[in-house]
Amino acid sequence: MITEKQLAVYLGKDEGALELARRAVAEVEKTARCRCVEATGRLIAEEDGLRVENTVLKLYGNDIARLLEGCDAVYYFCATIGSETDRLIESLKLTDLTLAYAVDLCAGLWVDAYCDELEKNQRARLEEKGKSLTRRFSCGYGDMPLASQASFIDALKADKFLGIRMTEGGMMIPSKTVSAVAGISDGPVNGGRRCDVCVKRGSCDGGICSD
């Protein structure tokens, strides 16, 4: 899902960057197992935020509220590349820290590319029905609490189907796991850009992000 040239952009401009990227991509290709649980549901406005009907999924924050203006439903998912890549990274930390860093970076980009694919496919399905899909939004973007990831796991039963669990610090395991939501509307949707609420805003050179 990620090419060595795409990864090399993040690894520096020296001659060894492309070779390091090649090795990292090869390692992730061997270990990544892309899987997801996805669903759609109707949105209900409540006093303290938005909730997906008949689920425990609550969407808190002004940023997600703005994104979902005009939407009466959402598409939401948990996606992961599995725990084998986590084990590989921990093993490499004992023998080759440079490669461990590159593999860790590649794995993060890999799961994000997988999420791009899920979003693209869902948008295409909705467009066939005359509906629109906003960009996706994840916990930790803007003012949407990272702790909200727990409600995605519960709503999708991602612990049962994908083996995803939460740490006490609010992080998901496997580490290369993403939860996200996007709004569904019968009319035009809020385009926006992930860059507007990204924690790396102002320090990113663009990389491979299409937003």
pLDDT tens-digit series, residues 46-103 = 988 899 999 999 999 999 999 999 999 999 999 999 999 999 999 999 999 999 999 9
What mean pLDDT do residues 128-156 have? 94
End-to-end CA distance of the chain: 17
Kind and range of the H or E run holding 75: strand 73-80
Tell whether 194 is covered by a domain: no
pLDDT at 54: 96
Domains of the chain: total: 1
Tell whether 35 is covered by a domain: yes
Enumerate the β-bridge partners of residue 183. 74
Look at 11-15, 65-69, 124-128, 151-155 and tell me which has the smallest mean pLDDT.
11-15
Range of the structural domain that residue 107 is part of: 4-189
Enumerate the β-bridge partners of residue 133. 184
What mean pLDDT do residues 165-180 have? 92
Residue 190 vs residue 185, higher pLDDT: 185
Tell whether 16 is covered by a domain: yes
Tell whether 127 is covered by a domain: yes
The one-letter amino acid at 79: A
Tell whether 200 is covered by a domain: no
Query: Tokens standing for 169?
Result: 């610090």
Q: Has this prediction a pTM greater than 0.75?
A: yes
What's the CATH number where 41 sits?
3.40.109.40
Tell whether 210 is covered by a domain: no
